[in-house]
Amino acid sequence: MKKRARILFINEAAKFSFESLKKGNGFERRLHESIGKALEKISRDAFCGIQIPKKLFLREYVLKHDIGNLWKYNIPSGWRLIYTITSDGEAEIIAVILDWFSHKEYERKFRY
């Protein structure tokens, strides 16, 4: 069952970084477009990504953001979008964007 979600960034710096891609070089503009498409899909179905097992959570996410779940969404060109799902205490589901990085950096961070 698809669950709609409101999209938020973990902080203003992450939102600014995403918006900055739009003004960058050709690769950065394409990455911005790919992330934008991923955000649209996640907003239509918060659970469309791949759930990351708890044993693989990055310690920094757990300590800094107190997450209880972690998801990745594969973006074209080998990039990964990392997000967590929460709620507003009412009925609204919120997908919080934590990070995005290349496949190589993803493998290094998550020790694959």
* pLDDT digit string (tens) for the chain, length 112 residues: 788 999 999 999 999 999 999 999 999 999 999 999 999 999 999 999 999 999 989 888 888 988 999 999 999 989 999 999 998 777 899 999 999 999 999 999 887 7
Query: Does residue 1 fall inside a structural domain?
Result: no
Please check whether residue 70 is in contact with residue 29, taking contact to mean a CB–CB distance below 8 angstroms.
no
Query: Does residue 44 fall inside a structural domain?
Result: yes
Domain span at 32: 6-109
| Residue given tokens 């964007």 in the structure block | 97
CATH number for the domain that contains residue 89: 3.30.2310
The sign of the dihedral angle between the CA atoms of 77, 102, 74, 41 is negative
Phi, psi of 106 (to 5 degrees): -60, -45
Please check whether residue 65 is in contact with residue 11, taking contact to mean a CB–CB distance below 8 angstroms.
no
